[in-house]
């Protein structure tokens, strides 16, 4: 084969219409749009296949890594920083310092985040905390209360000066975020813009040290849809840039002081597209302010030839808390791994993987090590850091990037038209919109339209969890009116199952399997998973010759619920027999939604479970009857 000959050139080309006609034929009359076109929560359709022609007209396909508008990343490579955060207080300062050194020297961390108590923000403590850490080689990030952030900034600048470090090599951040405090806790901070201006001015001598935190991770953890997280992030950052420029700060400086801290949901491809779209849109927003940095004119080139300019979005990403679960908690490892993969492939600058047990206890050495190793595996064994933007050129992901960018931009413009992010936040409109999404997603979880493996589908039947949940210290973290709702997606099912566990009574659910072998097995499996979500004891069976034999066996084990598992055709005869034989001594349930359902209801049979059931509401009703 010559170098110019195309692979498989001997085969005739197939048009998009031919592909679609083949799919329609295989659907055997089913509607193509309804069966194969996915309507996303983000407000756009995803088609079952994409072709080269779908790239026509897209604005992102000609991008180059490390070059404006940065859709393919802000650097020529794809290495990212592995970050772990450490809590710091006066009493635990020595332990925090020891842990920091251990993480850097022995555990593979390349970025540190210090969450410092307000009382611990002193010159002596910061010096002691950073002793032995090369701040020219390690990214240093801080977070403290709003009122102590300015002091912390001044202390750190003085520390850098005193150590003689090269300020051009000091990379890090202070997550100063009074706006986020309002979102997360409903707390109002006075003179917000002046506070931002003060902390920016205090750190002008550190060109790569960012002190304005824009934290869309709050929206992610509150159950927002992806386009909301991105659209609100852009509006948030833009509002601060606009107001700080009006306050007298240079347009070329303000964006360089902003760090975006995003969350990562489990929507794998959508998250890759989100980060690509985020860089693209932010670069164009900043460019519009006049802080221009065209590729051929960038005056701030570094020795490696890379461009460094205001339009580059600095992104830290953190795996989401919203889908973390208490039951079957090791599934959290699967969730955080795919989330980490999305962020890494999308080219984020730094990444935190939350420990799998963080939903119910303070992480220990084991769970923190596993979380770090999840990133190390992506680097050392999967070589994710060796490939720049593998999404580039993918017909699907390029279209997904464009679609998410359009939806997020639409939301961004809506916020701008209503006065900007801060005005909309103060009016409570942003919180209401995100909380509405959280509520909608909880409803989707309750009916299994959104699956949380091990919680609302395929639970560990015999697991208990009450003893492993540590009390949460809510001291100083009370929420005011108009705050975001951070209720995790699994919380309703967890409350249900914990109620069963704490009641001291574990209801028994007996599968009365009879008739069609295939249908009774399938429905017994469905019903077993259904009731196990509430922590009930499941008693499955291979099958009974007669209804009376099944009822007798159920009564022998003192079943609280008896579930008839058979085929739709057989229910018309079997269900009335079973209902009569049980005689009200146990709750009778039919697994399925047969055509004869109304006739069965007329005979007093009222409990049916099927794929359209709201699992949560149904189980709450059973709990109400059985746990009295």
Q: Which domains does the chain have, with CATH numbers?
A: 16-49 (no CATH), 81-417 (3.20.20.240), 505-626 (3.40.50.280)
Report how far residue 174's alpha carbon sits from residue 149's, in angstroms, rounded to the nearest whole number.
7
Q: What is the pLDDT of residue 476?
A: 43
Look-up of token digits 């959280």: 438
Q: Beta partners for 176?
A: 212
CB-CB neighbours of 154 under 10 Å: 15
Q: What CA–CA distances, in Å, run from 556 to 135, 504, 539? A: 71, 21, 12
The secondary structure of 145-182 as a DSSP string is -HHHHHHHHHHHHHHHHHHT--GGG--EEEEE-HHHHH
Q: Left (φ > 0), alpha (ψ -120 to 50) or beta: where does 462 sit?
A: alpha
Look-up of token digits 């460019």: 287
Contacts of residue 626, Cβ cutoff 8 Å, sequence gap at least 6: 505, 507, 560, 561, 587
Assess contact for 457 and 413: CB atoms under 8 A. Answer: no
Assess contact for 323 and 456: CB atoms under 8 A. Answer: no
Report how far residue 469's alpha carbon sits from residue 252's, in angstroms, rounded to the nearest whole number.
48
Q: What percent of the chain has pLDDT over 90?
A: 87
Assess contact for 423 and 460: CB atoms under 8 A. Answer: no
Assess contact for 154 and 202: CB atoms under 8 A. Answer: yes
Q: What is the pLDDT of residue 473?
A: 56
Assess contact for 322 and 485: CB atoms under 8 A. Answer: no
Residue-wise pLDDT tens digits, 238-284: 999 999 999 999 999 999 999 999 999 999 999 999 999 999 999 99
Assess contact for 435 and 485: CB atoms under 8 A. Answer: yes
Q: What is the pLDDT of residue 4?
A: 62
Laid out side by side, the sheet with 537-539 consists of 537-539, 508-513, 561-565, 587-591, 608-609
Report how far residue 356's alpha carbon sits from residue 329's, in angstroms, rounded to the nearest whole number.
6
Q: What is the pLDDT of residue 13?
A: 87
Closest listed residue to residue 216, CA positions, set 201, 230, 200, 195: 230
Strand pairing class (508-513; 537-539): parallel
Look-up of token digits 């963080």: 358
Q: Beta partners for 563?
A: 511, 589
pLDDT along the chain (628 residues), means of 10: 67 89 90 92 93 91 89 93 98 98 98 98 98 98 96 98 97 97 85 95 97 98 98 98 96 95 97 98 93 50 50 97 98 98 98 98 97 98 95 96 97 98 96 98 97 97 95 58 94 97 96 97 98 98 97 98 98 98 98 97 97 97 94
The secondary structure of 392-450 as a DSSP string is TT-HHHHHHHHHHHHHHHHHHHHHHHTT-HHHHHHTTHHHHHHHHHHHHHHHHHHTTSS
Residue-wise pLDDT tens digits, 76-119: 899 999 999 999 999 999 999 999 999 999 999 999 999 999 99
User: Could you tell me the pTM of the whole model?
Assistant: 0.94
């Amino acid at each position: 084969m010559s170098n110019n000959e195309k692979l498989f050139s001997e085969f005739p080309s197939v048009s998009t219409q031919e592909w679609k006609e083949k799919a329609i034929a295989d659907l055997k009359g089913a509607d193509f749009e309804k069966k194969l076109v996915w309507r996303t929560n983000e407000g756009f359709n995803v088609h079952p296949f994409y072709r080269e022609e779908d790239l026509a007209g897209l604005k992102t396909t000609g991008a180059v890594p490390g070059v404006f508008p940065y859709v393919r990343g802000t650097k020529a490579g794809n290495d990212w920083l592995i970050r772990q955060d450490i809590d710091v207080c006066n009493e635990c300062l020595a332990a925090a310092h020891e842990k920091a050194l251990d993480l850097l020297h022995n555990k593979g961390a390349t970025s540190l985040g210090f969450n410092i108590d307000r009382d611990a923000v002193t010159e002596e403590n910061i010096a002691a905390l950073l002793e032995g850490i090369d701040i020219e080689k390690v990214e240093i990030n801080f977070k403290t209360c709003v009122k102590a952030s300015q002091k912390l900034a001044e202390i750190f600048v003085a520390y850098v000066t005193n150590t003689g470090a090269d300020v051009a090599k000091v990379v890090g951040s202070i997550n100063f975020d009074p706006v986020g405090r309002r979102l997360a806790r409903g707390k109002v901070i006075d003179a917000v813009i002046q506070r931002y201006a003060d902390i920016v001015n205090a750190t002008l001598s550190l060109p790569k040290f960012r002190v304005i935190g824009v934290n869309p991770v709050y929206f992610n953890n509150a159950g927002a849809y992806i386009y909301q997280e991105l659209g609100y992030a852009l509006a948030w950052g833009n509002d601060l840039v606009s107001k700080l420029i009006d306050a007298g700060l240079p347009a070329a400086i303000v964006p360089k002081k902003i760090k975006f801290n995003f969350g990562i949901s489990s929507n794998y491809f959508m998250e890759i597209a989100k980060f690509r779209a985020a860089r693209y849109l932010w670069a164009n927003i900043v460019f519009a302010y006049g802080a221009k940095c065209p590729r051929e004119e960038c005056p701030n080139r570094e020795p490696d030839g890379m461009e460094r300019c205001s339009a580059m979005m600095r992104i830290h990403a953190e795996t989401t808390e919203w889908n973390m679960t208490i039951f079957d908690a090791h599934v959290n490892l699967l969730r955080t791994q795919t989330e980490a993969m999305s962020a890494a492939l999308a080219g984020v600058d730094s990444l935190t993987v939350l420990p799998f047990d963080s939903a119910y206890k303070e992480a220990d050495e084991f769970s923190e090590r596993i979380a770090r190793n999840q990133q190390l595996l992506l680097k050392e064994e999967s070589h994710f850091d060796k490939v720049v933007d593998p999404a580039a050129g993918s017909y699907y992901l390029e279209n997904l990037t464009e679609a998410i960018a359009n939806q997020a931009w639409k939301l961004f413009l809506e916020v701008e038209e209503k006065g900007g992010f801060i005005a909309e936040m103060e009016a409570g409109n942003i919180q209401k919109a995100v909380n509405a999404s959280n509520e909608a997603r909880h409803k989707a979880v309750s009916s299994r339209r959104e699956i949380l493996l091990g919680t609302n589908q395929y639970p560990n039947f015999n697991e208990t969890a009450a003893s492993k949940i540590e009390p949460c210290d809510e001291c100083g973290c009370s929420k005011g009116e108009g705050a975001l709702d951070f209720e995790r997606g699994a919380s309703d099912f967890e409350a249900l199952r914990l109620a069963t566990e704490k009641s001291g009574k574990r209801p028994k659910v007996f599968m009365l399997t009879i008739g069609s072998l295939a249908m009774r097995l399938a429905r017994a499996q469905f019903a077993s998973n259904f009731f196990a979500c509430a922590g009930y004891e499941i008693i499955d069976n291979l099958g009974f010759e007669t209804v009376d034999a099944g009822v007798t066996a159920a009564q022998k084990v003192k079943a609280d619920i008896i579930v008839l598992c058979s085929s739709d055709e057989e229910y018309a005869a079997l269900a009335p027999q079973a209902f009569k034989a049980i005689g009200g001594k146990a709750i009778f349930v039919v697994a399925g939604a047969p055509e004869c359902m109304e006739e069965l209801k007329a005979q007093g049979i009222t409990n049916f479970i099927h794929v359209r059931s709201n699992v949560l509401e149904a189980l709450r009703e059973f709990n109400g009857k059985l746990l009295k």
